[in-house]
């Protein structure tokens, strides 16, 4: 699997490693690789060949204060309410709180998703391909035969199946 580079990347990890181990001068190496000498100098100074993270080192809110964030986090951890319910309950205390700023705050603290509760979701069922095949097969049978098959299986006649059947009914009536 290849390395994922951002749009402005001029070097790969292999090139960065070559820069760090090379004994050539900055200008010679830059000319040979077709990159800026400042880039060569930057990678010579670094210990690793991994790109540094972009953005702030410690993300923080531009809307909420530290105290307001603490209130939001404590409220969510204590109540375990969904996002919209938290928003409705907290807007009385923090009037400038919006849904997006609340979500960003919960994301920063790693509590944006509620924990899974046992039995809250039904288990996923495997797709029963035979039902689709049976439906495709039944489309081409005469309608009377289909009704007989359904009646034999369920002991009652289907109600509105005729309305959705993709066939010409005049030939069967």
The whole-number pLDDT of residue 52 equals 76
In whole angstroms, give the CA distance from residue 18 to residue 59: 33
**Site of tokens 């993270």:** 53
What pLDDT band is residue 55 in, cutting at 50, 70 and 90?
A: confident
Sign of CA dihedral 16, 21, 27, 33: negative
Helices then strands, counting H and E runs in the chain, come out as 8, 0
Summarize pLDDT for 128-157 with one digit per residue, the tens: 776 667 667 767 777 667 666 666 667 665
Total-model pTM: 0.46
Return the closest-CA partner of residue 95 out of 59, 113, 71.
71
The whole-number pLDDT of residue 160 equals 46
Return the closest-CA partner of residue 14 out of 33, 27, 31, 28.
33
- The answer to whether residues 19 and 10 touch, using CB atoms and an 8 Å cutoff, is no
In whole angstroms, give the CA distance from residue 65 to residue 143: 69
Q: What is the residue extent of each domain of the chain?
A: 1-52, 66-108, 130-167
Summarize pLDDT for 59-108 with one digit per residue, the tens: 777 889 989 999 999 999 999 899 999 999 999 889 999 999 999 999 99
Q: From the CB of residue 11, how many other CB atoms can be counted at a distance below 10 Å?
A: 19
């Amino acid at each position: 699997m290849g390395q994922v580079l951002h749009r402005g990347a001029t070097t790969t990890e292999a090139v960065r490693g070559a820069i760090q181990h090379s004994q050539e001068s900055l200008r010679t190496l830059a000319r040979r690789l077709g990159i800026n000498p400042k880039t060569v100098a930057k990678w010579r100074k670094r210990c690793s060949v991994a790109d540094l993270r972009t953005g702030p080192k410690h993300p923080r809110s531009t809307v909420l204060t530290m105290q307001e964030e603490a209130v939001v986090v404590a409220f969510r951890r204590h109540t375990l309410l969904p996002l919209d319910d938290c928003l409705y309950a907290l807007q009385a205390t923090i009037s400038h709180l919006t849904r997006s700023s609340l979500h960003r705050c919960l994301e920063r603290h790693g509590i944006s998703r509620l924990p899974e509760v046992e039995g809250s979701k039904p288990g996923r069922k495997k797709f029963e391909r035979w039902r689709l095949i049976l439906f495709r097969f039944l489309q081409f049978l005469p309608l009377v035969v289909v009704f007989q098959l359904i009646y034999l299986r369920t002991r009652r006649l289907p109600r509105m199946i005729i309305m959705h059947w993709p066939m010409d009914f005049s030939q069967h009536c």
